[in-house]
Amino acid sequence: MQRITDRLINWASILDEGALAQARRTSELPFIHPHLALMPDAHLGKGATVGSVIPTLEAIIPAAVGVDIGCGMIAVRTQYDAADLPANRRPMREAVERAVPLSAGKYNRSITATAATRIAELERAASVAGFDPASYAANWREQLGSLGSGNHFIEVSLDERGRVWLFLHSGSRGVGNKIAQRHIRAAQEYARRTSVPLPDMDLAYLVEGTAEFDRYIAELRWAQRFALLNREEMMDRVAAAFADWVGGPVEERERINCHHNFTEKEHHFGRDVWLSRKGAIDASAGRPGLIPGSMGTASYVVEGLGNPLSLNSSPHGAGREYSRNAARRTFTRRQLNEAMHGIEWRHSDAFLDEIPQAYKDIDRVMADAADLVRVRHTLRQIINVKGD
């Protein structure tokens, strides 16, 4: 841990100057209390640094939550071991690809029975929140149970004892993105209207007690719930596909579902703050969490240590070192094939920007996080599913 200033504390041993400068700017906003915490996976983001924990007094920065509101991970430990699995893993991958819509702009053609109950919950929640999600995305119901693209994934993994885990990463999809974009614009309009000086317009904020603030919080919480239920819906489908593949039912021995792009009201250093974790998980003492590596590397099931200086937070993954364009210019398909050796995956050049070398070394990230979380399990993927 490195105390850069009184208002900026850093856990990242790998941190480029652009990300550091960005974090400094954010930490100097007058309503930060008591300091901004940079996680080991911190890297340059839009407005605020990805991998940062931002506590704010009576204000909130919509871009500090990000456009994928509620993005996070879910993992289920099954009763199966590696020895129980069929030798041919391709049918499982293809079954998941049929069961879950993949890639940007891909959604369900109809509403499944399992999704219907979750959609009904979200309809009630939207009514209570006083808004219509269809005003953002007419097909938001069909979006529930879809993965997306980029670094979102579905995996079958084995832990250190050879036990089988089902693991996936996704968020609030198109409807969450549109909700976020609308409120980022509202914050920027507020800044222009009130002549608020800002080092970056993507640090525009909303002030507690205003109608704009209240609307954002209501819709933010709805989108966070959508993201969590979206992961649950996909996990149910993945478990069903897995049951068909192994020829027996799935017994859930453990289930963990956690956000890493979200805001909650929390109490830190004597004050109630709006704590925005942009690429960070809640690592309160004893709280289970999930920290994925990149495509082809290890992921971790962890338990929070409740470090107060980190605002009870920890990293959410490996963190990019190369932009997507830079990764495509730097690395080759041969390197990607080598990194994915022994893993069942859909061989495609589309995933070159997700090559492990484009990310920080996950083991280095976890070493940096030694005072933030305790590792409970190390997972190694054997099947990987991604969207283009």
Look at the block and give the residue holding tokens 């391709």: 90
CA gap 150, 157 in Å, rounded: 20
Alpha-carbon torsion 143, 145, 148, 151, what sign? positive
CA gap 158, 180 in Å, rounded: 35
List of E strands, the chain: 2-5, 8-10, 36-43, 50-56, 59-60, 72-81, 153-158, 163-170, 206-207, 254-259, 261-268, 271-278, 280-282, 288-291, 298-304, 313-315, 373-386
**3-state class of 207 per DSSP?**
strand
DSSP one-letter string for 104-127: TT---SS--HHHHHHHHHHHHHHH
Alpha-carbon torsion 226, 68, 198, 49, what sign? positive
Look at the block and give the residue holding tokens 């100057």: 17
Confirm whether 377 is a catalytic residue.
Answer: no
Annotated catalytic residue within 169, 260, 316, 377: 316
| DSSP state for residue 202 in the 8-state scheme | G
Token pair recorded at residue 178: 């549109």
CA gap 155, 157 in Å, rounded: 6
Q: CB–CB of 261/72 below 8 Å?
A: yes
- Taking phi over 0 as left and psi of -120 to 50 as alpha, with beta for the rest, 214 belongs to alpha
Q: CB–CB of 48/54 below 8 Å?
A: yes
CA gap 235, 256 in Å, rounded: 11
| CA-derived radius of gyration, the chain | 20
Q: Which residues participate in catalysis according to the annotation?
A: 316
